[in-house]
Every structure is written in C-alpha cells, then in structure tokens.
Amino acid sequence: MDPIQTVEVALYQVPLKKAVSDAKVLTGRQRPLAHVDLLTATIETVNGARGFGFSYSLRAGGSALLAHAKDLAGALVGEDPNDIGRLWEKLAWLGASVSRTGVSVQSIAAFDVALWDLKAKSADVSIGKLLGAYRESVPCYNTSGGYLNASTSEVLANVDRSLELGLGGIKLKVGQPELKKDIERVAAVRKHVGDDVPMMVDANQQWDVTTALRAGRMLDPFNLVWLEEPTNAYDYRGHAQLKAKLDTPIATGEMLSSVAECGELIRHDSVTFLQPDVPRVGGITPFLKIANSADLNRLKLAPHFVMEIHIHLGCAYPHEAWVEHIEWLEPAFNERLEIKGGQMFLPQRPGLGFSLSEEAARWRVA
C-alpha cells in the first residue's frame, strides 16, 4: 500500500432525541446525557485509498480528544498504513508524558480504527472478515430504552419497540436510591416479556459490594443474562467476590482504558462477561490483545456501545459474544446494521462499512 499522504480529524456533537439518565445522574455525580462527542479520523494514501475511523466521549472530553488527535495526526504522514501495530506504539509514545490511558489512547482509537478500515478495504472484505470471523451474526440487546428517566410504562413501550425491531434482549438501568423500586421495575419487565426474552441489568457502579450483594440476591430469581457494573469499575476484587456469591453472571469493563486494566479483571476472575470498549481502550489493536486474553480464559464478550465497530469484533470472537444496540450515532452515518431474529449481522461492505452522513455536517463543531 502507498504511504499516507493526508490525515484529517474532526469533532461532531451528535444530539440525542431525548436526554437520558442513569444511576450516576440520580446521585448527582453526572448530568443527563444529551449528546455524544464524535471524534473522526480520515486517512488517505498517496494513491487515494481512504480509511475512516472514530472515537467518542460522553458529557465532557470531546475538545480534549480533538486537541490530542491534532497533535498526533502529522506523525502518520509518510508512514506505511499496513504497520498498524507499530503506528499505534508510535502515537502512544508521542503522548506518553500525559498518559497511555484515557484521553491519550481514546484519541489514538480514531486513527487505529481508520487504519483497520483502510486495510480491510484494500482486501475488499469487512474488518470482521479480515480478523477471521467465526460467525456472520451475534445476539444483540437494546439499552437505550431502559434508562431511569423513563417511567416503567415508557420502558415497557420501548421494550415492545425493540422486540419488534428484531432485537434479542433488553437491558435495564438500576441503582435508584430505593432498591425496592429497581426490583419492581425489573419484575414488571420480566412479567411483560416472559421468561424466554434475555434480560440484563446495569447499575453503573452505583453500589458498594455489600449493597451489590444484597441487590444481586434479590435479582437472582429473574434469570438475568448478567448484572453489569454492580460496584466501582476498578474494584477487581469486589467484582470477583460478587461473581463467586451470586447466581447471576457479572459483567464489567466498559470504563477501563487500557489492556492492563482489563487484564486485572481477568487476573482476579472478576467477570463472566468482559465488556471492553474499542474507543476507550485505544482502538482495535489493543482490543484484540484483550480479546486474546479473554479467549484464553474462555470468557464471554459483550463490548460496550458503538455497535458500528463492535459488530466486527463480536463476530471475530471465538466464544459467546453480545453486541449492545444503542442507536444514538445512527444519524451521523449513511449506513445501517441489519438486525433480525434477535441477531445483529456483520456488514458485507468492505472495511468498517460506515461513512458520515450529510446531516452530520450540521453537528461539526471543529
């Protein structure tokens, strides 16, 4: 492949149709989420081949992602885009004095995804196929309809819409000040959908280990696929204790931003479902290292958010994998994922399979 000639980065604020709130909002730690900051990277080679990638942040941090990406972009010019691993290290070391986690790697993620997009396009296959797909589709579940700002009746209506769209599972937010309300909400949805529809709940780190254990025991009878982020994201030992004592499988990992941090979850036997996030850990390159460790320990995989990227990684994972359906970024792209019969299907388009829509231009902030 010819060397890289130009690199462009941009920031968009993609609005949500309605602001959403989880347990962190109810406790005053965060404000309702009204938009997603979308950092994009477009890499073009001398012969005109183009790769597109993106990263994101929620509530704050978008301007920091853009600033760091601008600092790094010029370092890719003249490089061989095939050398994705080496280029990831080059960019990481350039920003090593500020960090090799967080904003630093989340900026790198946009470039990394763009390089994988470019590589897969040159082979005329999807990224999932390039990585050696094990399957053409994975089970998917909806999260966006189960936030705590919605009443129980609204959640039930959202559940019906999700199932009509062909989604296979439903995830509910929990972690309200009164645990009794969480249990009533979960019970209402379970009764509404019956015993056969997969359900998950997500506490968004709301509880300490003692409260999480009490809540988990009350949730065990509902036959949940998993209990997500029951306690602090960095409490590897606490999650391990909950995994050992509860019938419901434990899932976490979305807030972690390095291979090493995700490795601690594996080392402590903290999870049944590992939930790394490609943009947050720095791109597809580090995600593959995490997935390899998870594979060796025969963990299940349920990557967080950005289904447009994670469908490729879910299909390329050897064991059970779920992809989270959150439609917030759909207006920014021209393409849509195929969903039917409870499954999300790997795009047949080359590369990532997504391009920015004309509507996205209205949301460009820098």
SS (H, E, C) 306-338: CHHHHHHHHHCCCCCECEEECHHHHHHECCCCC
**Which own/partner contact pairs does 164-168 have at CB distance under 8 Å and 24+ positions apart?**
165/339, 166/339, 166/340, 166/341, 166/342, 166/343, 167/140, 167/141, 167/142, 167/325, 167/339, 167/342, 168/139, 168/140, 168/141, 168/198, 168/341, 168/342, 168/343
Catalytic option among 24, 68, 171, 173: 173
173 is catalytic: yes
Residue 105: Cβ-neighbour burial (10 angstroms; 0-12, 13-18, 19+): buried
Say if strands 50-58 and 137-142 run parallel, antiparallel, or are unpaired: unpaired
Give the bridge partners for 273, in sequence order.
251, 300
CA dihedral for 354, 360, 365, 366, sign (positive or negative): positive
* Number of other residues whose CB lies within 10 A of the CB of residue 296: 9
| 221-242 CB burial, b ≥16 within 10 A, e <16 | ebebbbbbbbbbbebbebbbbb
Q: How many CA atoms lie within 13 A of 111 on its CB side?
A: 35
Given the residues 68, 171, 239, 304, the one annotated as active site? 304
Beta strands of 59-184 (E only): which ranges? 137-142, 169-173
Q: Which helix H or strand E contains 254, and what residues bound it?
A: none
Amino acid at position 71, single letter: D
Q: Where do the DSSP E strands lie in the chain?
A: 4-20, 33-45, 50-58, 137-142, 169-173, 199-202, 226-228, 250-252, 273-274, 300-301, 323-325, 339-340, 343-345
Helix axes 62-73, 103-123, angle to 10 degrees: 60
Token code pair at residue 37: 């900051």
Catalytic residues, by residue number, are 173, 304
